[in-house]
Chains A and B, each alone.
Chain A
Protein backbone atom coordinates (compact mmCIF):
# COMPACT_ATOMS: atom_id res chain seq x y z
CA UNK A 1 0.00 0.00 0.00
CA UNK A 2 1.13 3.54 -0.66
CA UNK A 3 1.97 5.61 2.36
CA UNK A 4 4.66 6.56 4.79
CA UNK A 5 6.30 3.92 6.91
CA UNK A 6 8.66 4.18 9.82
CA UNK A 7 10.96 1.58 11.28
CA UNK A 8 11.55 0.40 13.86
CA UNK A 9 8.28 1.14 15.63
CA UNK A 10 9.87 0.49 19.01
CA UNK A 11 13.51 0.71 20.00
CA UNK A 12 15.34 0.48 23.31
CA UNK A 13 18.97 1.51 23.35
CA UNK A 14 21.64 2.63 25.75
CA UNK A 15 23.22 6.00 26.27
CA UNK A 16 26.03 6.64 23.82
CA UNK A 17 24.88 4.23 21.13
CA UNK A 18 24.08 5.24 17.60
CA UNK A 19 20.49 4.76 16.48
CA UNK A 20 18.94 5.26 13.07
CA UNK A 21 15.23 5.65 12.52
CA UNK A 22 14.07 4.97 9.01
CA UNK A 23 11.33 6.71 7.07
CA UNK A 24 10.06 5.72 3.64
CA UNK A 25 7.28 7.29 1.58
CA UNK A 26 5.77 6.05 -1.64
CA UNK A 27 4.05 9.24 -2.83
CA UNK A 28 7.17 11.00 -4.17
CA UNK A 29 6.36 13.98 -1.99
CA UNK A 30 9.04 16.67 -2.18
CA UNK A 31 9.03 17.58 1.48
CA UNK A 32 9.80 15.32 4.41
CA UNK A 33 9.96 16.13 8.09
CA UNK A 34 11.09 14.62 11.37
CA UNK A 35 9.30 15.59 14.55
CA UNK A 36 9.61 14.49 18.13
CA UNK A 37 6.62 14.37 20.43
CA UNK A 38 7.00 14.81 24.16
CA UNK A 39 4.31 15.25 26.76
CA UNK A 40 3.39 18.90 27.17
CA UNK A 41 5.36 20.04 24.12
CA UNK A 42 3.22 19.00 21.22
CA UNK A 43 5.39 18.26 18.21
CA UNK A 44 8.76 19.85 17.67
CA UNK A 45 10.50 19.89 14.33
CA UNK A 46 13.95 18.32 14.27
CA UNK A 47 14.91 18.49 10.59
CA UNK A 48 13.16 18.81 7.28
CA UNK A 49 14.02 18.30 3.67
CA UNK A 50 12.68 20.13 0.62
CA UNK A 51 14.05 17.60 -1.88
CA UNK A 52 16.75 15.00 -2.27
CA UNK A 53 20.10 16.32 -1.00
CA UNK A 54 18.45 19.40 0.56
CA UNK A 55 17.99 19.38 4.32
CA UNK A 56 17.56 22.06 6.95
CA UNK A 57 17.39 22.36 10.70
CA UNK A 58 14.19 22.72 12.60
CA UNK A 59 13.57 23.81 16.16
CA UNK A 60 15.53 21.06 17.98
CA UNK A 61 18.28 19.68 15.70
CA UNK A 62 21.08 19.17 18.23
CA UNK A 63 22.19 15.56 18.55
CA UNK A 64 20.53 14.48 15.31
CA UNK A 65 21.75 13.94 11.78
CA UNK A 66 19.67 13.43 8.64
CA UNK A 67 20.33 12.59 5.03
CA UNK A 68 18.20 12.35 1.94
CA UNK A 69 19.97 10.73 -0.96
CA UNK A 70 16.67 9.53 -2.46
CA UNK A 71 13.33 11.32 -2.54
CA UNK A 72 11.54 8.45 -0.82
CA UNK A 73 13.86 7.95 2.16
CA UNK A 74 14.67 10.27 5.04
CA UNK A 75 16.59 8.53 7.83
CA UNK A 76 17.19 10.17 11.19
CA UNK A 77 20.34 9.26 13.11
CA UNK A 78 21.13 9.85 16.74
CA UNK A 79 24.90 9.65 16.69
CA UNK A 80 25.31 9.23 20.45
CA UNK A 81 21.95 8.74 22.11
CA UNK A 82 21.15 10.53 25.35
CA UNK A 83 18.31 9.97 27.81
CA UNK A 84 16.78 13.30 26.82
CA UNK A 85 16.24 11.85 23.36
CA UNK A 86 13.75 9.34 24.73
CA UNK A 87 10.65 10.31 22.79
CA UNK A 88 8.21 9.36 20.07
CA UNK A 89 9.52 10.31 16.66
CA UNK A 90 7.24 11.04 13.72
CA UNK A 91 8.17 11.27 10.11
CA UNK A 92 5.90 13.21 7.77
CA UNK A 93 5.75 14.16 4.13
CA UNK A 94 4.08 16.89 2.15
CA UNK A 95 3.56 17.85 -1.47
CA UNK A 96 4.02 21.56 -1.04
CA UNK A 97 6.53 23.74 0.63
CA UNK A 98 6.73 24.42 4.32
CA UNK A 99 3.48 23.56 6.01
CA UNK A 100 1.03 25.20 3.61
CA UNK A 101 -0.10 21.81 2.51
CA UNK A 102 -1.36 18.83 4.44
CA UNK A 103 1.22 16.71 6.22
CA UNK A 104 0.99 12.94 6.04
CA UNK A 105 2.42 11.20 9.07
CA UNK A 106 3.91 7.82 9.75
CA UNK A 107 2.84 5.77 12.74
CA UNK A 108 5.72 6.91 14.88
CA UNK A 109 8.83 5.32 16.36
CA UNK A 110 8.98 5.07 20.12
CA UNK A 111 12.59 5.35 21.29
CA UNK A 112 13.75 4.68 24.83
CA UNK A 113 17.29 5.55 25.81
CA UNK A 114 18.44 3.89 29.04
Chain B
Protein backbone atom coordinates (compact mmCIF):
# COMPACT_ATOMS: atom_id res chain seq x y z
CA UNK B 1 0.00 0.00 0.00
CA UNK B 2 1.18 3.50 -0.77
CA UNK B 3 2.45 5.24 2.31
CA UNK B 4 2.62 8.62 0.61
CA UNK B 5 0.02 9.38 -2.00
CA UNK B 6 0.12 12.31 -4.34
CA UNK B 7 -3.00 11.69 -6.32
CA UNK B 8 -2.45 14.58 -8.73
CA UNK B 9 -0.04 13.40 -11.38
CA UNK B 10 -0.03 16.69 -13.24
CA UNK B 11 -1.61 20.08 -12.67
CA UNK B 12 -1.67 22.92 -15.15
CA UNK B 13 -2.73 26.45 -14.21
CA UNK B 14 -2.36 29.92 -15.60
CA UNK B 15 0.09 32.26 -13.98
CA UNK B 16 -1.21 34.14 -10.92
CA UNK B 17 -3.71 31.43 -10.06
CA UNK B 18 -3.50 29.74 -6.67
CA UNK B 19 -2.80 26.03 -6.72
CA UNK B 20 -2.85 23.32 -4.05
CA UNK B 21 -0.86 20.12 -4.23
CA UNK B 22 -2.27 17.28 -2.18
CA UNK B 23 -0.33 14.80 -0.07
CA UNK B 24 -1.88 12.00 1.99
CA UNK B 25 0.24 9.72 4.12
CA UNK B 26 -0.04 6.55 6.20
CA UNK B 27 1.95 5.77 9.31
CA UNK B 28 1.67 3.76 12.52
CA UNK B 29 4.14 5.95 14.35
CA UNK B 30 3.24 8.84 16.60
CA UNK B 31 6.54 10.53 15.83
CA UNK B 32 7.16 11.18 12.17
CA UNK B 33 8.27 13.89 9.80
CA UNK B 34 6.81 15.18 6.58
CA UNK B 35 8.69 16.93 3.83
CA UNK B 36 8.15 18.73 0.56
CA UNK B 37 10.85 18.90 -2.10
CA UNK B 38 10.87 20.72 -5.42
CA UNK B 39 12.48 19.34 -8.57
CA UNK B 40 12.78 22.07 -11.21
CA UNK B 41 13.51 21.21 -14.86
CA UNK B 42 17.24 21.33 -14.10
CA UNK B 43 16.72 18.10 -12.15
CA UNK B 44 18.22 18.79 -8.76
CA UNK B 45 15.86 18.28 -5.82
CA UNK B 46 15.53 21.16 -3.41
CA UNK B 47 14.23 20.98 0.14
CA UNK B 48 11.22 23.19 0.87
CA UNK B 49 9.93 22.28 4.32
CA UNK B 50 9.99 19.72 7.12
CA UNK B 51 7.20 19.26 9.63
CA UNK B 52 7.17 17.01 12.68
CA UNK B 53 4.06 15.18 13.80
CA UNK B 54 3.69 17.24 16.97
CA UNK B 55 3.47 20.54 15.21
CA UNK B 56 0.21 21.04 13.37
CA UNK B 57 0.59 24.75 12.90
CA UNK B 58 0.28 25.85 9.34
CA UNK B 59 3.34 27.46 7.85
CA UNK B 60 3.66 30.29 5.39
CA UNK B 61 6.79 31.27 3.53
CA UNK B 62 6.17 34.02 1.04
CA UNK B 63 3.80 32.65 -1.59
CA UNK B 64 4.11 29.12 -0.23
CA UNK B 65 1.97 27.70 2.55
CA UNK B 66 1.52 24.26 4.03
CA UNK B 67 -1.52 22.81 5.76
CA UNK B 68 -0.83 19.84 8.04
CA UNK B 69 -3.90 18.00 9.30
CA UNK B 70 -3.36 14.85 11.33
CA UNK B 71 -7.08 14.12 11.39
CA UNK B 72 -7.03 13.53 7.65
CA UNK B 73 -3.37 12.45 7.40
CA UNK B 74 -2.71 15.20 4.91
CA UNK B 75 0.07 17.68 4.34
CA UNK B 76 -1.02 19.90 1.49
CA UNK B 77 1.03 22.57 -0.21
CA UNK B 78 -0.43 25.75 -1.65
CA UNK B 79 1.23 28.22 -3.96
CA UNK B 80 -0.46 31.59 -4.03
CA UNK B 81 -0.25 33.78 -7.13
CA UNK B 82 1.72 31.16 -9.04
CA UNK B 83 4.58 32.13 -11.30
CA UNK B 84 6.18 30.41 -14.26
CA UNK B 85 9.27 29.74 -12.13
CA UNK B 86 7.11 27.55 -9.90
CA UNK B 87 6.88 25.00 -12.70
CA UNK B 88 8.48 21.85 -11.35
CA UNK B 89 7.77 18.41 -9.98
CA UNK B 90 6.90 18.54 -6.30
CA UNK B 91 7.46 15.59 -4.01
CA UNK B 92 5.96 14.91 -0.63
CA UNK B 93 7.85 12.50 1.63
CA UNK B 94 7.43 10.81 5.00
CA UNK B 95 10.04 9.80 7.55
CA UNK B 96 9.00 7.49 10.41
CA UNK B 97 10.65 5.44 13.10
CA UNK B 98 9.05 2.26 11.72
CA UNK B 99 11.06 2.71 8.50
CA UNK B 100 14.21 3.67 10.37
CA UNK B 101 13.57 7.28 9.40
CA UNK B 102 14.36 6.68 5.76
CA UNK B 103 12.40 8.94 3.49
CA UNK B 104 9.38 7.39 1.80
CA UNK B 105 8.50 9.40 -1.27
CA UNK B 106 5.29 10.10 -3.08
CA UNK B 107 5.28 9.74 -6.86
CA UNK B 108 5.34 13.49 -7.35
CA UNK B 109 3.05 16.08 -8.88
CA UNK B 110 4.15 17.85 -12.02
CA UNK B 111 3.07 21.49 -11.85
CA UNK B 112 2.89 23.48 -15.05
CA UNK B 113 2.39 27.22 -14.81
CA UNK B 114 1.39 28.75 -18.11
CA UNK B 115 2.22 32.41 -18.79
Contacts and interface: CB of A to CB of B under 8 A. Distances in A.
Interface of A: 40-45, 48, 58-59, 88, 90, 92, 97-108
The DSSP consensus for interface residues of chain A is: loop
Report the contact-size class of chain B (Cβ under 8 Å from the partner).
20 to 34
A43 B44 contact: no
Nearest to A104: B47
B12 interface: no
Interface stretch (B13-21, B69-77, B78-86, B98-106): B98-106
Nearest to A96: B101
Contacts, number: 54
Given A48-B102, A99-B35, A103-B47, A42 B42 contact: no
A28 B101 CA distance: 21
25 contacts: A40-B107, A42-B4, A43-B103, A58-B102, A88-B43, A97-B101, A98-B95, A98-B101, A99-B33, A99-B35, A99-B93, A99-B95, A99-B103, A100-B95, A102-B47, A103-B37, A103-B45, A103-B47, A103-B103, A105-B44, A105-B45, A105-B46, A106-B44, A107-B42, A107-B43
